[in-house]
Structure 1
Amino acid sequence: MKIGELAERSGIPASTIRYYEREGLLPKAQRGANSYRVYQNGTLERLDLIQLGQRLGFSLDAIRTVMALQGDALKDALLGKLETRLEEIDRLRAVLDAQRRSVVEAKERVQAARDQGVCAVEAAWAG
C-alpha cells in the first residue's frame, strides 16, 4: 500500500511514517516504478505497536530496541521493559501523591488563614 493509504488506515500522518522509517522503526519501504513508497501489510501492525509503546510511555529508542528482537529475546525484552515501566510509574505516583498531600495541606492553611484574617500567602508557605 502507498503511504497515503497507510496514513489513512493507521491515523498517523505520512510525515511521521517517513520519520519512523528514517529512524529505523519501520523497514525501508520498497519503491514502485513511479518511485512511490510501497509498504507491506505488516507495516500497519508495526505502526500499531509503535503507537502502543508510546501510549505506555516508552521512548522511541526503547521501542526500536525491542522491535529489533525476535522470538524469546523479544518476549523477554518486552516483559523486562514493561516491568521497568511499571516501577517508573510507581515512583512517579509516589512523588505525585506526596505533592498532592502538600497542596491539600497548603490549601487548608490558606483557607484557615483567610477565615482568621491572617495573611494567606504566609500561611500557604508555612509548615
Structure 2
Amino acid sequence: MAESYSIGQLSKASGVNLETVRYYERIGLLPAPQRAANGYRRYTDAAARRLRFIRRGRELGFGIEAIRTLLQLANHPQEPCHEADQLTRAHLQDVEAKIADLQAMRQELVRLACCDSDNAQHCRLIEALDSDVDRQGFSTDC
C-alpha cells in the first residue's frame, strides 16, 4: 500500500520547507494532491520523490524553469537526454564564471586586508570603496 503524507510529513520526508511545498504546488512543479474528507492535503510517495528531485536540482543551483524541463525529461525516460546535457553544460559555464568572479573578489579582499594603517583616513578598504575608479586588474601585493 502506498504511503500517504500530510503536508508536514511530506516536508520532513522530502527535506523541503512547508511553505516551499505550497509554492511548488502553486507554480505547478508539484501536482495538486488529493484532499482527505477533512479537506487536508494528502500526498503520495511519488510527491515525496518529486520534491526530493526538485530539492536536489535546486541544491545544484538549477532554476525553476530548468527543473521544470528536467522533471519533464524524468517523466519520459525513453526520450533522449541531450536537453539535460545542454542544461548541465550551460549551468556549468555559469558556475565557472561565478567561481572566477569569486576568485577575483578574494584576491582584491586579500590585497585590501594588508592594510597597516592605524586610522580610517588611510585604510585601504575605505579608500577602495570611496574611489571613483573601478579596479580591472586585481593585485595581491600588500
Q: Give the TM-score, by structure 1 length.
A: 0.76
The answer for the alignment partner of 2:13 in structure 1 is 9
8 Å Cα contact 2:16/2:55 also seen in 1: no
The answer for the alignment partner of 1:60 in structure 2 is 64
Unaligned runs of 5+ in 2: 132-138
Overall identity of the aligned pairs, in %: 34
8 Å Cα contact 2:30/2:50 also seen in 1: yes
Q: Deviations over 1:89-123 (max 9, x none)?
A: 11111111122222222333x23xx39x9x63369
Unaligned runs of 5+ in 1: none
The Cα of 1:15 is off from its aligned counterpart by 2.8
Counterparts of 2:101 and 2:35 in 1: how far apart (Å)?
49
The Cα of 1:53 is off from its aligned counterpart by 1.1
Matching of residues 1-127 of structure 1 within 5 Å = 1=4, 2-69=6-73, 70-73=76-79, 75-108=81-114, 110-111=115-116, 114=117, 120-121=122-123, 125=128
Alpha-carbon RMSD: 2.8
Q: Whose helix proportion is higher, 1 or 2?
A: 1
Alignment length (residue pairs): 122
Change (3 A) 1:122 1:83: closer
Q: Which amino acid aligns with 1:44?
A: A
Higher relative contact order (CA 8 A, sep 6+): 2
Counterparts of 1:3 and 1:87 in 2: how far apart (Å)?
36
Mean Cα displacement is larger for which, 38-47 or 4-13? 4-13
Counterparts of 1:15 and 1:107 in 2: how far apart (Å)?
41
